[in-house]
Amino acid sequence: MHKGRLEAFSDGVIAILITIMVLELKVPHEADLAGLLPLVPVFLSYVLSFIFIGIYWTNHHHLLQAIEHVDGRVLWANLHLLFWLSLIPFVTGWIGENQFAAWPVASYGIVLLCAAIAYLILTRALIALHGNDSVLATALGRDIKGKISPVFYLMAIPLAFVNPWLASALYVVVAIIWLIPDRRIERTLAH
Amino acid sequence: MHKGRLEAFSDGVIAILITIMVLELKVPHEADLAGLLPLVPVFLSYVLSFIFIGIYWTNHHHLLQAIEHVDGRVLWANLHLLFWLSLIPFVTGWIGENQFAAWPVASYGIVLLCAAIAYLILTRALIALHGNDSVLATALGRDIKGKISPVFYLMAIPLAFVNPWLASALYVVVAIIWLIPDRRIERTLAH
Amino acid sequence: MHKGRLEAFSDGVIAILITIMVLELKVPHEADLAGLLPLVPVFLSYVLSFIFIGIYWTNHHHLLQAIEHVDGRVLWANLHLLFWLSLIPFVTGWIGENQFAAWPVASYGIVLLCAAIAYLILTRALIALHGNDSVLATALGRDIKGKISPVFYLMAIPLAFVNPWLASALYVVVAIIWLIPDRRIERTLAH
Amino acid sequence: MHKGRLEAFSDGVIAILITIMVLELKVPHEADLAGLLPLVPVFLSYVLSFIFIGIYWTNHHHLLQAIEHVDGRVLWANLHLLFWLSLIPFVTGWIGENQFAAWPVASYGIVLLCAAIAYLILTRALIALHGNDSVLATALGRDIKGKISPVFYLMAIPLAFVNPWLASALYVVVAIIWLIPDRRIERTLAH
């Protein structure tokens, strides 16, 4: 099976997820700055989730760039990833509604952790299909970022009950790690 | 007519349907676990419907994989399928709102039944266009899953008024039947 | 300019429009048939609008099938069409909310009339680009359906204030006229 | 990396943004013209934002037309642009809710200004990748429109606190400037 529709469908779902989060930014009835003030935590959580979904999209883009075909297992591994991503708007809204309270921040970490695991499963399904000596397997290499992120989430989840702002800072650290350019796949494909 | 836009449009509609269901997961005002509790039935119905729409997407993907061109009749058979799928978020929300009550569970079965019939009509329209000895016709073969699913729905609809949880269990059984890998089309195409 | 992105963008917008209308079908709090009763006019207006947007999508599909490239003027003629289509969910919801009252039914006709005119402008922009002896111009021919529809809308708008159900029946007639297979473009392309 | 998915994802996000704004046009409970009256400012702000997002889409379309490949930096420059565009429905809704009051009109200008800067950054990232003597660099030339728009926004933002309607008129002027056909890229590609 060709990868075209898997890409198109994933693009559609991710585009919708990244956009419907903005609906949580409810238009205030007041016409002044005071009306915007209660929206600050909603806005902050929106920015963080926009970046995380953006990271997943660019990674997904790179991943599928390195392969040519897919099978039924890959389709479902991909749907499984999209399922966890689809919960990000919900936990984002929960964080915004409760100004970064403990449970919302912890559940945010749980959803990110599940998404990270789902992404790992998708990677494995693709390598199983293309072989350990494929461009993809070489490009991913030891995949340090992919392995370090779940550790951060596992630390942040209990930390949220001690200090939710520190836990949120850990999520920001993960986002920054991913935003630092990582040319593994680009470089391997260029060879 | 080329099949490209039929795929793109269906991907768009299905991507939106699978995503807007998550909007029924209303962000709770409470910041603790108690706030999540009333969302449990909403979440369960979301997971079930996510899987059903995922099944339709992968089946649709396989189906269109096996053909090359479409005509006006196929376009409308496809829109007819999308219409019934578009009602899934509504019945899903109704189930979630009323904790798997009789009428919502029965109406869920009716919508699934109509979608299954619409899928059958789409299959027939495609075979009519490509011929009984086409790759598609061979790949579908006797289509046992496609024929057994409506029977389950027909049993579940009256059962919902006796025991809605048993009826819901029947829907889960259908989902599991479809999730068991089915390589008909993949295998036939590989030949 | 290639037509690819114009198709993709239009598919996206039309897919969203056809889907967000279903959000007007608000999940009832009651768990029985009585809860569905107030939704009947909303559902009827949804079905009608689903068919109209479906007609626009299949016509748009046929239209772009017959051409190869686009220019800036075509992009804006297309955006102009999408603008009027984007108002269909609003007038559909208004009809459903007020059980086919006079003003909503009349405004539905106004939006359909503007969309029909916008479609005509798009057709003209495409013919201007491809020439009067192009496949497209030949395929469209005298375009009887395209010319008769606005006449029906112009009749339905004042009629809505006399009898909104009769006016709505006129919309149904237009939908049926378009649903009758029309193989002009398919036939011309086959030559 | 090929540009295909960047286009598809951007099309998806922009299609959703241009469409969800219409959800701010809340269906009135009244069935007469009086019910539509409070929607007039909402409608006006919708038309203005529809045109602005339409301008961004056609410009984005032209921009990507002139290039062939993208890199990680371009992906993020594009996501950055989409982020600011995603705030347009919010400020549009705020303007509509408060009948073109000072703060909403000023914040509209701020979002447009940030989007214009983000577009400029995207242009620079693309030129950095393709070279100063590429088709793209030649096609963009001195880019007068791109440089004049931020000046108008910078004027409109403080002006909103003196006279929000005059500030809004400045936005309309910018929209008209962009709507005047601009064949730079089309012409250069034609060579």
Quote the CA–CA distance of A156 and D12 in Å, as a whole number: 33
Helix (H), strand (E) at residue C92: helix C88-97
The reply to whether residue C54 touches residue B79, judged by beta carbons under 8 angstroms, is: yes
Region D133-140 average pLDDT: 76
pLDDT in tens, A73-102: 899 999 999 999 999 999 999 999 998 999
Sign of CA dihedral C94, C97, C103, C105: positive
Quote the CA–CA distance of C191 and C5 in Å, as a whole number: 27
Mutate to test the interface with B, among C11, C55, C60 (most CBs of B within 10 A): C11
The reply to whether residue D79 touches residue A65, judged by beta carbons under 8 angstroms, is: no
Contacts for B169 with CB less than 8 Å, ≥ 6 apart: none
Contact C12, D15 (CB under 8 A): yes
Average pLDDT, chain D: 89
Region C126-151 average pLDDT: 82
The reply to whether residue D72 touches residue A57, judged by beta carbons under 8 angstroms, is: no
pLDDT of C183 reads 61
Quote the CA–CA distance of C43 and C21 in Å, as a whole number: 10
The token pair at C26 is 């608000």
pLDDT band for position C14 (cuts 50, 70, 90): very high
- List of chain C residues whose C-beta atoms are within 8 Å of the C-beta of residue B23: 23
Number of helical H runs and strand E runs in chain D: 10, 0
CA of A93 vs chain B CAs: smallest distance (Å): 6
Region C29-57 average pLDDT: 93
CA angle centred on C95, ends C145 and C81, rounded to 5°: 45
Contact A102, A161 (CB under 8 A): yes
pLDDT of B107 reads 96
| Single-letter amino acid code for the residue at B110 | I
The reply to whether residue A79 touches residue B65, judged by beta carbons under 8 angstroms, is: no
pLDDT of A139 reads 72
pLDDT of D190 reads 64
Chain D residue closest in CA terms to C70: D186
Chain centroid, CA D145 distance in Å: 13
Quote the CA–CA distance of B129 and B135 in Å, as a whole number: 12
pLDDT of B145 reads 83
pLDDT of A182 reads 60
Quote the CA–CA distance of C126 and A163 in Å, as a whole number: 61
Per-residue pLDDT of chain B (191 residues; tens, 9 = 90+): 788 889 999 999 999 999 989 988 999 999 888 999 999 999 999 999 999 999 999 989 888 888 888 888 899 999 999 999 999 999 999 999 998 999 999 999 999 999 999 999 999 899 888 887 777 777 776 678 888 899 999 999 999 999 999 999 999 999 998 887 666 656 666 66
pLDDT band for position D188 (cuts 50, 70, 90): low
- List of chain C residues whose C-beta atoms are within 8 Å of the C-beta of residue B71: 186
Provide the percentage of residues in chain D whose pLDDT is more than 70: 93
Contact C66, C191 (CB under 8 A): no
* DSSP output for B67-95: --B--HHHHHHHHHHHHHHHTHHHHHHHH
Burial pattern A90-125, b for ≥16 Cβ within 10 A else e, equals bbbbbbbbbebbbbbbbbbbbbbbbbbebbbbbbeb
pLDDT band for position D185 (cuts 50, 70, 90): low
A89 three-state secondary structure: helix
pLDDT band for position C102 (cuts 50, 70, 90): very high
| Range in B89-98, C70-79, C131-140, D170-179 the model is least confident about | C131-140
- List of chain B residues whose C-beta atoms are within 8 Å of the C-beta of residue A73: 181
Sign of CA dihedral C95, D48, D93, B26: positive
pLDDT of D56 reads 93
Ramachandran category for residue A99: left, alpha or beta (phi over 0 → left; psi -120 to 50 → alpha): left
pLDDT in tens, C139-176: 776 678 888 899 999 999 999 999 999 999 999 999 99
Contact C115, C84 (CB under 8 A): yes
pLDDT of C186 reads 61
Alpha-helical runs (H) found in chain B: 4-20, 33-36, 40-65, 72-86, 88-97, 102-130, 135-140, 144-162, 164-179, 184-190
Contacts for A96 with CB less than 8 Å, ≥ 6 apart: A24, A41, A42, A43, A44, A45, A46, B27
Q: Which chains touch C (3 or more CB pairs under 8 A)?
A: B, D
- List of chain C residues whose C-beta atoms are within 8 Å of the C-beta of residue B89: 22
pLDDT of A160 reads 96
| Residues paired with C2 in a beta bridge | C69
Residue given tokens 């208004």 in the structure block: C94
Mutate to test the interface with A, among B2, B9, B17, B18 (most CBs of A within 10 A): B18
Could you tell me the maximum CA-CA distance found in chain A, to the nearest angstrom?
Answer: 60
Mutate to test the interface with A, among D2, D5, D20, D82 (most CBs of A within 10 A): D5
Residue C65 in this model has a pLDDT that exceeds 90: no
Residue given tokens 């992009």 in the structure block: C75
pLDDT in tens, D3-35: 888 999 999 999 999 998 998 899 999 988 899
Which positions of chain A have pLDDT values less than 50? none
The token pair at D188 is 């250069």
Q: What is the CA radius of gyration of chain A?
A: 18
Q: Which one, of C46, C50, C57, C63, lies nearest residue C139 by Cα?
A: C63
Residue D154 in this model has a pLDDT that exceeds 90: yes
Contact B155, B95 (CB under 8 A): no
Residue D137 in this model has a pLDDT that exceeds 90: no
* Of the partner residues C12, C16, C93, the one whose CB lies closest to the CB of residue D27: C93
pLDDT of B84 reads 97
The reply to whether residue C182 touches residue B89, judged by beta carbons under 8 angstroms, is: no
C2 three-state secondary structure: strand
Quote the CA–CA distance of C107 and C94 in Å, as a whole number: 9
The reply to whether residue A76 touches residue B29, judged by beta carbons under 8 angstroms, is: no
The token pair at C125 is 């922009």
